[in-house]
Structure formats: C-alpha cells, structure tokens
C-alpha cells in the first residue's frame, strides 16, 4: 500500500491549511484483487444461516 500526503487545496497558501492523506494499492496489491473477489464470491455463495450449519 502506498500513501501520500496532499494539500487540501494546493492553490491556497494558508499556513494552517488541512492536508489529505490518500492511500492507493501497489501493483502487487492490485494483482490480489481478482483472488479476493473470488474469495468474496465463494463466501457469499457458501454463507448459510447459523442454525443450518449445526
């Protein structure tokens, strides 16, 4: 995961301005998205109410 700090509004040069922290996935993280999507799909398809599993 990559994170970067950006000024809220780079056009405004106020000494006490707020900044925004943004996160993004690395290429390795992006490569996991298909696998994670498949795991989520499997979980949704195999989820049963608790009484049925006992």
Tell me the CB-side half-sphere exposure of residue 30, using CA atoms within 13 A. Answer: 6
Q: What is the span of the domain harbouring residue 6?
A: 2-53
pLDDT string in tens for the chain (54-residue length): 666 766 665 565 555 556 777 888 899 999 999 999 999 999 998 888 767 666
CB 20 within 8 A of CB 8: yes
In terms of Cα–Cα distance, which of 11, 8, 32 is closest to 20? 8
* Distance separating alpha carbons of residues 44 and 42, to the nearest angstrom: 5
* Distance separating alpha carbons of residues 2 and 29, to the nearest angstrom: 10
Number of domains making up the chain: 1
pLDDT at position 48 is: 81
pLDDT at position 31 is: 94
Tell me the two tokens of residue 39: 């795991």
């Amino acid at each position: 995961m990559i994170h970067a700090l950006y000024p809220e509004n780079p056009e405004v040069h106020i000494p006490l301005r707020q900044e925004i922290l943004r996160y993004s996935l690395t290429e390795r993280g992006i490569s996991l998205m298909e696998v994670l999507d498949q795991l989520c799909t499997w979980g949704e398809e195999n989820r049963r109410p608790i009484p049925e599993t006992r």
